[in-house]
Structure 1
Amino acid sequence: MKEYIILRREIPTASHGLAGVRAVATDPSLTVERVPAHALAELVAEPEVALVAPKMPTRLIKPKAAKAETRAEPWGVERVAGHSRYTGNGVTVAVLDTGIDAEHPAFAGVDLVEKDFSGSGNGDALGHGTHCAGVIFGRGLATRIGVAPGISRALIGKVLDNKGGGSSEMIFNGMLWALEQRAHISMSLGFDFPGMVKSRTSEGWPVQLATSEALETYRGNLRMFDAIMGMTKARAAFGTSALVVAAAGNESRRGDDPEYRLAASLPAAADDVISVAAVGRASGGGLRVADFSNTMATLSAPGVGITSARTGGGLKTMSGSSMACPHVAGVAALWWEAIGASGKKATARNVRAQLIATARSEGILQWDEVDVGQGVVVAP
């Protein structure tokens, strides 16, 4: 029997009171159940079941080691937000990653709400989540590492274990948790399609059969993502919309062949998710698309030689679309604050619109829209 992720929708029920009959709904929920093949159709037909998808492995989008010459002051923050007077004050962000080093001085004074979905406990054994969180809201250090240092509350969902692996229900549960808390989501992780095929073939499956099952599983999880994103859009009418930002991935190899460019996978490929590509500095003051950065981006941001918080204290420099993603999440927080300060109501829709409308492609060498999206984000 396969394990399936089951998303149960909100079901209105009748409630009698002085005002008469009114609709009462419960929050959507996820469960994981082992279901025999013959019972699957019956499960899908249940009225409260919105969607059923097979579990799929997930993995950390591993950063690239920074070259010695890129180990410098955090240039990305200055590039996208150095001129802004906004700090992200009043905005709550959720970092769904490998956890966080909550004792790092860069997070002093921030209300960190940690929740482990991986089963490996809170904390950050790999340092990836700590680095990403530092790019978004790191503060209080001699060197500015955070794009939005005014953020005072952050949700830290550990959706990858201490080895950087996980499964899709960890991410989905983390997303629902963050959405219930009205937080905006940053994710630098990916769904492991190649790893699933490799796992099946190592068990003796024919390559064609293993690929077919992985494709079916990927398709089901894409639909699950789209269903959850659809819930965020539905909640926008009640003022609880959230922005979701995800890294495009690091599997391209433009340095070997300019055409060796891979498309973004889940979660970056899901509807209404802002997919983020990485750019680095070029000689002469311009920017260039990172050799490793995947395509199908919505926007791009600094992702090469990015200095941020290191687990255990101090700073560390890394490269990857994982580093570009939190730059966009941080700039989104600045726009959220700026729109609210203007007297308008900030929503995921108008913040997204501002991110796209103000993005800049000037100064990017030999760029293609499929590589950088609408350009590099700019803070208000």
Structure 2
Amino acid sequence: MSLLRLPPEILIQVMDHVGSSYFREDLGRLTVCKRWFGFARTACFKDLQLSQKTLRHLLSSRDVGRSLLLIKDSLEILDLELKGFEDWSSIPEPQSYPQNGNALDASSWDGDLGRALLAAWTTVLDNGLAQLAIIARESRKLRIIRIQASSENHPLLPHLPRRDYLSLSTIRALLSVKNLMVLELDLCGTLLIPRQEHRGGFHVCTSIGALLTTLRRLRLRMRSICADVLRLQHHDTSLRLSEVLINLSLSNESPMTTSAAYSTRCGSTGGGFLKLKADIEDQAEALAAHMASPKIIRILTHSLPQLKMRSLDVLTGKCMILADDMAWEDDGKTVEDDSDLESEILDDGFSTSSDE
């Protein structure tokens, strides 16, 4: 029997098994025939995985309108992996090298041309993400959004100050999707840049909190965060949310990063990291009371100076040590409590914003 003579429900399973990556390797594989295309396009665009380069190529293609229409009609999972500016060869290298050879002179690289190219790249990325946000809001099937934004790494200047490259307003636009079920944000490589008129007045945490009524899974790591990410904006005692993972540790966000920073509190409210940690734990407990079937609620930090990952299970009160290769939700070795974590922070006089 010809493949195309199979019932529609079987053809859908076949296309799903083949997977979206098969079609994205060669879009010509979509065009076997009209009937084939009807099933293949859904499989191709239901799971959209984009980097900043592939997003730019998508939006600059000749038939961008048709491509965006296909994506909008099929999109179920949006997966963004952003690494910041990578085209370092387009910027002139430093004129001088230090005699000790330990590091290049960053100031000789960070000139007018370099700053202009980085600013232009950031604008292009923001415009592309803004277009993607429009598509996401119009995609009735979209249920999962994952965004990972790591730090920029210059191959010859590993100790350049971190540069922020994501817009707060654009990320908020991406999070305005209705009926979202899974949200995973790992934005440890950049703070979110507010508009000039909104500096200090807006943050993304309230946008995340607004999604709690539809989410099933929430996974977050951000350089700036507050308890609003877990605060219900409307009373609901039967949330379908079952998994919450909040990582406050930035210790392993990049192999080029040597500082052991924690997330900082949104805005100018004082209290430091220990107050932030306590507030998020308290709000997590309050949120658990509204969850119909909570499975995992974990708050992750790290100890000093050993940099051991620690996971607090909010549902049981247990504190666990996680090995380096463990996932955030894994069960590690149980320890008595995490009081030594707080004493280590206080004894070391550690600054929670060492690179801010």
Is the pair's TM-score, using the shorter chain for normalization, greater than 0.5? no
Q: Which has the larger radius of gyration?
A: 2
TM-score (normalised: structure 2)? 0.31
TM-score (normalised: structure 1)? 0.30
Greater relative contact order (Cα < 8 A, sep 6+): 1
